[in-house]
Structure 1
C-alpha cells in the first residue's frame, strides 16, 4: 500500500532582470498618465496555480521544476519560483 499526496502549487514566472519588459513599460506609462508618477520599475509576470499528485515533497518539487522548465517558463528569458502546500493524502494500492 502506498500513500499518494496532493499538493497545491503556486508558481510565479517573471522576466529575468536583464530582459526588457515592453508590457511593463506600457503599464507604467499608463499609470504615469493617470497621475501615478511615483511608480518605478514595473514588471509584468505570470501567476499559475495547480494541483499535483506525488509520492512525497521531493517528487512534487522535482516534477514542478520539470513542468516549469519545459512548459510554464522560458528558461532563457524567464525566472520562476514556486511554493507547494500539501492539501490531501490518499491511501491506496497501486
Structure 2
C-alpha cells in the first residue's frame, strides 16, 4: 500500500530555502510572489493490510525519522 508523508516547517520557523527560491523567482522576473515555503513529500510503499494500519505506520516513521517534530509538522495520507 502506498502512503505519502507531507513534512513542513512549523509557523514561525524561518525557511532559508524558501527565501532563496523566492529571491530566485523574483530575479527571473516573476513579480508579486509573496512568502515561499519549501516542503517535502515522502512516498512510501508499506506492507499494511488496511488504511488505518498504513496511516499508523506512516505516522510512526515520521515521528522516528522523517520529521523533526521540534520545528516541523507532518501529515500522512494513503495514496490513491
Matched with 1:40 is 34
1:79 is aligned, of 60, 64, 73, to 73
- The CA RMSD over aligned residues, in Å, is 1.4
Give the TM-score, by structure 1 length. Answer: 0.77
Choose which of 57, 75, 78 in structure 2 pairs with 1:63: 57
- The gaps in structure 2 that reach 5 residues or longer are none
Gaps of 5+ in 1: 1-6, 87-94
What per-residue deviation string (whole Å, max 9, x for no partner) do you get for residues 37-92 of structure 1?
21111001111111001233222221111100111000110111121147xxxxxx
Structure richer in helix, relative to its length: 2
Compare the two structures and name the one with the higher strand fraction.
1
Q: Is the counterpart of residue 21 in structure 1 residue 27 in structure 2?
A: no
TM-score (norm 2): 0.89
Aligned length: 80
